[in-house]
Amino acid sequence: MVIQDMRHWLEQAVIGLNLCPFAKAVHVRGQVHYVVSRATDTEQLESALIHELKALVQADPQVRDTTLLMAPDCLSSFMAFNDFLGVADSCLASLDLEGVVQIASFHPQFQFAGTGRGDIGNYTNRAPYPTLHLLREASIDRAVAAFPQAEAIFEQNIDTLRQLGREGWAQLGVERSVPVPPEVAQRSPGRGGQRRGTIR
């Protein structure tokens, strides 16, 4: 069910709205690896993340170009999820993978620093479940080289979502039927909340 929900989100939102022009190719070629972690705490999720980082760099890029690691049973709070991104960065450093793999983030309640919770722009990084997206830096470099206006993608996505609106987003059917409880307080600006998520 989790993978089915994520595939639906990828097809309807990310690819369907062209939020990431690089997503369709890896999806069609079957190079997106989906992993559901049943971790219930951050230590378990950290172990799962380390395992998947190692597996990604060891895999043939033609078979597994990128990994989506979903954690449906923990980090339902966006503030907690945002804090965990520091742990994720530490995992990259401990494995000497900085500059080799990049980690992007998605969450049902994702909120960029300096925005309101209901800002439609936040939906560029809203997925059905707390998700860590593991990307090969080499693949990112190739994708950016093939798309000269890559830096304009985020602004284009904001325009797309504003035209779509909340009602249009709801009609995509990509939100969970039982949503993650909203935050009780807005998180102050942090680097996690400033990340740009993408499927490449």
- pLDDT tens for 19-58 read 988 898 899 999 999 999 999 999 999 999 999 999 999 9
Q: Is the pLDDT of residue 132 over 90?
A: yes
3-state SS class at 131: strand
φ, ψ of residue 135 to 5 degrees: the values are -120, 140
Mean pLDDT value across residues 90-117: 96
Domain that holds residue 38: 2-180
Measured distance CA(171)–CA(153) in Å, rounded: 23
Q: How far is CA 90 from CA 40, 66, 151, in A?
A: 20, 19, 26
Asked if residue 192 belongs to a domain, the reply is no
Q: Is the pLDDT of residue 182 over 80?
A: no
Per the structure, the count of domains in the chain is 1
Q: Where do the H-state alpha helices sit in 68-185?
A: 78-94, 137-146, 153-171
Asked if residue 82 belongs to a domain, the reply is yes
Asked if residue 187 belongs to a domain, the reply is no
pTM for this one? 0.87
3-state SS class at 19: coil
